[in-house]
């Protein structure tokens, strides 16, 4: 367990809030950008990534709520809510990937989608690292675990980006849903560890 003095703790808590508010703001903007890109390209992957942004908004809201209070009971409830977000993300990825592969749906090219997912991947990886370090320094498993939600968001952005690029450059429309299955496993593993108390 890390022990920090009151001044250092207040600084870390402020950093935690800043990381979560940045994540929240980015994903709110992302929903709008992804909606425009998904409609113009008729892209199921981009629309699905917009749904993932909603899950990330929910997870960030949970952490902001948890950082605003104290107590083990609040922390346990916050962890369960984040575990639920992982489970929802896994279900969404499984259903979306299977549906796209089964339907053989071929989206149009999306320069906006490619640009947004590329920048989003970089931003989410940076935020995930910041949350992991801050959560560890605070000995706060809620912030640390939500950083994994952010990491998955970055991985999903990368998968969507690769799918969009492979579709655009090589006509490989199935690349994005195939990559989604890898993330299903990761999200389910995280949800299982949270609900089983391994965290």
Among 4-13, 101-110, 129-138, which range has the highest average pLDDT? Answer: 129-138
For range 146-159, the mean pLDDT: 90
When comparing pLDDT for 199 and 127, which is higher? Answer: 127
For range 89-107, the mean pLDDT: 84
Question: 10 Å Cβ neighbour count for 94?
Answer: 17
Q: Model confidence at 1, in pLDDT bands (50, 70, 90)? A: very low
pLDDT at site 198? 64
Could you give the domains of the chain? Answer: 6-195 (1.20.1510)
pLDDT tens readout for residues 5-52: 888 989 999 999 999 999 999 999 999 999 999 899 888 788 888 888
> How many Å apart are CA 46 and CA 25, to the nearest integer?
18
Q: Is the dihedral of CA 170, 176, 177, 178 positive or negative?
A: positive
pLDDT tens readout for residues 171-191: 888 887 777 787 788 889 888
- Structure pTM? 0.84
For range 95-110, the mean pLDDT: 83
Ranking 58-62, 139-143, 145-149, 177-181 by mean pLDDT, the lowest is 177-181
When comparing pLDDT for 104 and 169, which is higher? Answer: 169
Q: Model confidence at 115, in pLDDT bands (50, 70, 90)? A: very high
When comparing pLDDT for 130 and 47, which is higher? Answer: 130
pLDDT at site 70? 63
Asked if residue 161 lies in contact with residue 179, where contact means CB atoms within 8 angstroms, the answer is no
| Residue 60 main-chain phi, psi, to 5 deg | -65, -40
Asked if residue 50 lies in contact with residue 38, where contact means CB atoms within 8 angstroms, the answer is yes
When comparing pLDDT for 136 and 77, which is higher? Answer: 136
Long-range residue pairs from 133-139, CB within 8 A, at least 24 positions apart, any chain? 134/12, 134/15, 134/16, 134/19, 135/16, 136/2, 137/2, 137/4, 137/12, 138/2, 138/4, 138/9, 138/12, 138/13, 138/16, 139/1, 139/2
For range 89-97, the mean pLDDT: 86
């Amino acid at each position: 367990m890390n022990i920090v003095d009151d001044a250092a703790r207040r600084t870390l808590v402020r950093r935690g809030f800043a990381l979560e508010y940045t994540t929240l703001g980015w994903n709110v903007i992302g929903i709008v950008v992804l909606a425009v890109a998904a409609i113009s390209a008729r892209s199921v992957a981009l629309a699905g990534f917009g749904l993932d942004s909603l899950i990330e908004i929910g997870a960030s809201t949970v952490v902001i709520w948890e950082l605003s209070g104290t107590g083990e009971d609040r922390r346990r409830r916050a962890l369960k809510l984040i575990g639920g977000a992982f489970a929802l993300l896994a279900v969404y990825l499984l259903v979306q990937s299977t549906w796209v592969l089964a339907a053989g749906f071929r989206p149009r090219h999306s320069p906006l989608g490619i640009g947004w997912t590329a920048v989003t991947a970089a931003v989410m990886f940076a935020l995930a690292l910041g949350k992991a370090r801050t959560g560890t320094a605070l000995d706060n498993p809620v912030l640390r675990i939500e950083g994994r939600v952010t990491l998955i968001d970055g991985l999903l952005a990368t998968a969507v980006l690769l799918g969009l690029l492979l579709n655009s450059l090589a006509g490989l429309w199935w690349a994005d849903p195939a990559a989604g299955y890898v993330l299903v496993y990761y999200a389910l593993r995280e949800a299982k560890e949270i609900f089983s108390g391994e965290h």
